[in-house]
Structure 1
Amino acid sequence: MAFSKEHKSKMLSDYENWLGKSQAVFMLEYNKMTMKDIDAFRTKVRETGSEAHIVKNTLMQLAMTNAGYKDVKKAEGTLLVGFAYNDAPGLAKVFAEASKNSDVFKMRGGYLDKQLLSVEQVKALAELPPLPVMRATLLGVLQAPASKLVRTLAEPARSMASVVKAYSDKGATQAA
């Protein structure tokens, strides 16, 4: 399908806008995809706070070069590109699951902070825990020393209270 020059420039500006907002970009080659497949895939992508678009390869390469992406490869086949705005590991997980055991989708790699990622690196990124889990783990690591200090400082008072309670219980027993 032939596009006019104005339409191509609009598409190029859209691609550059998406690239400018995204932390990571992942690419899938698709084959024999139905609208049902596309809708289901895009729903999963939206749950991660990201977007997925079918792109024109030449325009996408030009947009990536203009946006400062390194090692831009020549795109081949029909590509579905995901733009991760918040949670790059979450989007990588959606793309990795879609390409696993599927004859419709094939992972093509991606970019993280404008650096080229291989298919294996994208799959490794997909194995990272989700962002909220990582934040909770980090918070637990940061809180552990403070919690231990509070317990250490409170222990002498607890010990003293148990000694006083034992004497009071002993005195109550002797009086009876």
Structure 2
Amino acid sequence: MAKPEKVAAVKEITALFQGSNAAVLTEYRGLSVAQLTQLRTTLGPDTTYAVLKNTLATIAAKEAGVTAFEGQLSGPSAIAFIAGDPVEAAKGLRDFARTNPQLVVKSGLLEGRAISAADVTALADLESREVLLSKVAGVLKASQAKAAALFQAPLSKTVRTVEALREKQAAGAPADAAAAEAPAAETVDA
């Protein structure tokens, strides 16, 4: 029979899997407690970096329907459960691993799909969601301005033409400029 503490731990890990839109499996062999604390701080408030017992993590992953880490939970394992922006968390892991090579990214899970360590690195190389959204907004604003200019030019020309015709009619000139310039029809005497 399972111990209540282990059952509670599996429930907690399962909840972390279910509440995250991404997760990254790491090996932390050789890192001190102070370094792990620094890593947790680096990852921010939307990421939970948890050192786990492999058997409990395996059970919790199965209960959560996660297959991305099958066969990889061995050695000193920790998982970064990411509820916020996965790009920012991947950048934090990458940058921390640069200064602390003992941290090894094994694989990841992004929106239900398994990703490799190389994919996690590629994710870290992306710009953050906010930067990408602001770039898209800038492009949309620029294209909106161009579109407005394209539509405004024919409209303003049409308005000027209509206004000129109206002024000519008000002045007593014929409405059709072509008719005004055409020679009068010659009359033939019979």
Q: Bin the TM-score by the shorter chain.
A: 0.7 to 0.9
Q: CA separation in 1, counterparts of 2:137 and 2:127?
A: 15
| Partners of 2:54 and 2:74 within 8 A in 1 | yes
Structure 2: state its 5+ residue gaps. 161-190
Deviations 1:28-58 (A, max 9, x none): 10122222201211101125x2111111111
| Partners of 2:68 and 2:109 within 8 A in 1 | no
Q: Which amino acid aligns with 1:66?
A: E
Aligned to 1:150: 148
Q: CA separation in 2, counterparts of 1:52 and 1:105?
A: 12
Deviations 1:135-168 (A, max 9, x none): 10121222232111233427959xx9xxxxxxxx
Deviation at 1:91, TM superposition (A): 0.8
Deviations 1:113-156 (A, max 9, x none): 12111111111111110111011012122223211123342795
Deviations 1:58-116 (A, max 9, x none): 11111111111234322111112101111011111111222235342111111111211
2:69 partner SS: coil
Larger Rg: 2
| Partners of 1:109 and 1:122 within 8 A in 2 | yes
Over the matched positions of the two proteins, sequence identity in percent amounts to 23
Aligned to 2:70: 73
2:74 partner SS: coil
**How many residue pairs get matched?**
154
Deviates more, 1:70-79 or 1:23-32: 70-79
Instruction: Tell me the C-alpha RMSD between the 2 structures.
Output: 2.1
Q: 1:60 aligns with which of 57, 71, 78?
A: 57
1:100 partner SS: helix
Matched, 1:139 2:137: yes
Q: CA separation in 2, counterparts of 1:109 and 1:99?
A: 14
Deviates more, 1:103-112 or 1:139-148: 139-148
1:33 partner SS: coil
1:107 partner SS: strand
Aligned to 1:167: none
Q: CA separation in 2, counterparts of 1:57 and 1:35?
A: 19
